[in-house]
């Protein structure tokens, strides 16, 4: 695995996990994603295209993941690819609960909790059995209506779950992913 681990103001590469941006940079980029990735309208057909697009990305990349697209209270698209388990279903539920509660991406909330050296239970009294501030759930925002649901991915490391959701939103909305992605 490869990742960056902060160490006295420096970072050390650990193999396998891509490096993360500093928290403040991540939060600024995620805020931009949440502001820019908005639909003019959103219906069942849009949900199907979005979910099917993520599924197609996953199949072509040989990824094992679960995809859920929903208006709050109403599932619109769901798929579980080979290699997933019932645990992925729970991760989807818990991450989408965070997006429903805060109208923000679950990764943004997780990075904020990391920045504040806190967690959802200590800060908001939210049980970990029902809420997970890990990347992968992204708010579905409609211009003039606000947040109406979420798209959630589970099966990859949290940053990759988030990136895949954003990549699919960019594809559906005709936006350049390279300008929206987290570095």
Asked if residue 7 is part of any domain, the answer here is no
Asked if residue 127 is part of any domain, the answer here is yes
Domain region containing 123: 22-180
Look at the chain and report how many structural domains it folds into. Answer: 1
Bridge-based pairing state of the strands 38-39 and 137-142 = parallel
Cβ atoms of 133 and 147 within 8 Å: the answer is no
Q: Which token pair is 125?
A: 């009294």
**Of the candidates 72, 81, 47, which has an alpha carbon nearest to the alpha carbon of residue 168?**
47
Asked if residue 171 is part of any domain, the answer here is yes
Asked if residue 128 is part of any domain, the answer here is yes
Asked if residue 13 is part of any domain, the answer here is no
Asked if residue 17 is part of any domain, the answer here is no
pLDDT of the chain, 183 residues: tens digit per residue: 233 333 333 333 334 445 567 999 999 999 999 999 999 999 999 999 999 999 999 999 999 999 999 999 999 999 999 999 999 999 999 999 999 999 999 999 999 999 999 999 999 999 999 999 999 999 999 999 999 999 999 999 999 999 999 999 999 999 999 999 998
Asked if residue 2 is part of any domain, the answer here is no
Q: What is the pLDDT of residue 183?
A: 85
Cβ atoms of 3 and 19 within 8 Å: the answer is yes
**Of the candidates 149, 156, 180, which has an alpha carbon nearest to the alpha carbon of residue 166?**
180
The pTM for the full model equals 0.88
Q: What is the pLDDT of residue 3?
A: 34
Asked if residue 5 is part of any domain, the answer here is no
Name 10's bridge partners.
7
Q: Report the CATH number that the domain containing residue 149 is assigned in CATH.
A: 3.30.450.150
**Of the candidates 71, 139, 68, 67, which has an alpha carbon nearest to the alpha carbon of residue 102?**
139
Q: How many residues does the chain have?
A: 183
């Amino acid at each position: 695995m490869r990742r960056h681990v902060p160490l006295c103001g420096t970072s050390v590469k650990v193999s396998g996990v891509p490096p993360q941006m500093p928290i403040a940079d991540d939060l600024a980029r995620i805020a931009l994603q949440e502001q820019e990735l908005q639909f003019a309208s959103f219906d069942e057909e849009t949900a199907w295209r979005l979910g099917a697009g993520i599924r197609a990305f996953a199949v072509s990349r040989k990824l094992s993941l679960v995809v859920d697209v929903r208006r709050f209270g109403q599932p619109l698209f769901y798929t579980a690819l080979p290699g997933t388990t019932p645990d992925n279903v729970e991760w989807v539920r818990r991450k989408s609960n965070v997006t429903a509660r805060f109208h923000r991406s679950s990764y943004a909330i997780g990075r904020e909790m990391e920045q504040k050296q806190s967690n959802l239970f200590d800060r908001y009294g939210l049980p970990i059995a029902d809420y997970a501030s890990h990347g992968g759930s992204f708010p579905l925002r409609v211009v003039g209506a606000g947040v109406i649901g979420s798209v959630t991915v589970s099966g990859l490391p949290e940053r990759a779950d988030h990136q895949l959701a954003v990549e699919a939103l960019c594809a559906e909305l005709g936006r350049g992913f390279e300008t929206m992605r987290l570095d």
